[in-house]
Amino acid sequence: MMSNLITIEFGDKSTFPKGDWCNEPDFCHWFRYDYPCLAIRDMTLGNWRGFVGITKTHPFYNKEAFDLLKEKSFLHISIYEGISHIGKLPAKYKKYNPDHWFLGFSTLSSGDLLPLMVDKVETDKNKIVEIKTYKDLHFVRKETNDLAKQLFVVERDNKTL
């Protein structure tokens, strides 16, 4: 069900302002419920994205968003800010499970602190500044593992029908 093998990589964060993100890796790969899971930092804004890969045995495999919205079991998938990615990953990540179809999410909501936008946040004393929180690797791994569990349940339940 779960592998303890985790692959991490660090990218160049020399342009990032100081913050908790400076001590984190920028890529993480692991398995949960035999699904490949990836946490990938978007190096343009500094936020995280989480992905879970499924194979041809999964009822969501190779289906686009429009088709998935017709699936009753897809409508019950609950993940942080919803599914924002469906499909193959960019070629850069092909070595991490090239035959999988990925579903993913992003920490890009209005309440998320984006490391490369920290200097651009308004600090005017006369305005109420919205409090934003940084969603770290721990948060993204937890959410990605939860997505993997939900996808596992859908696949398992589909096999028992």
Q: Mean pLDDT, 10 residues at a time, over the chain (161 residues)? A: 75 93 96 95 96 95 90 84 92 88 94 82 56 92 96 87 52
What is the DSSP secondary structure assignment for residue 2, as one 8-state letter?
B
Task: Give this prediction's pTM.
Answer: 0.88
Closest to 73 measured CA to CA, from 160, 136, 14, 9? 160
What pLDDT, on the 0 to 100 scale, is given for residue 134? Answer: 94
For residue 49, give the 3-state DSSP assignment: strand
How does strand 85-87 pair with strand 35-41?
unpaired
Q: Long-range contacts for 10-15 (Cβ within 8 Å, ≥24 apart)? A: 11/41, 11/43, 15/116
Architecture of domain 7-159: 2-Layer Sandwich (3.30)
What pLDDT, on the 0 to 100 scale, is given for residue 49? Answer: 97
**Domain segments of the chain: what residues?**
7-159
What pLDDT, on the 0 to 100 scale, is given for residue 124? Answer: 55
Reading the block at residue 30, the tokens are 């692991």
Backbone phi and psi for residue 29, each to the nearest 5 degrees, phi listed first: -130, 130
Cα separation of 114 and 69, whole Å?
Answer: 29
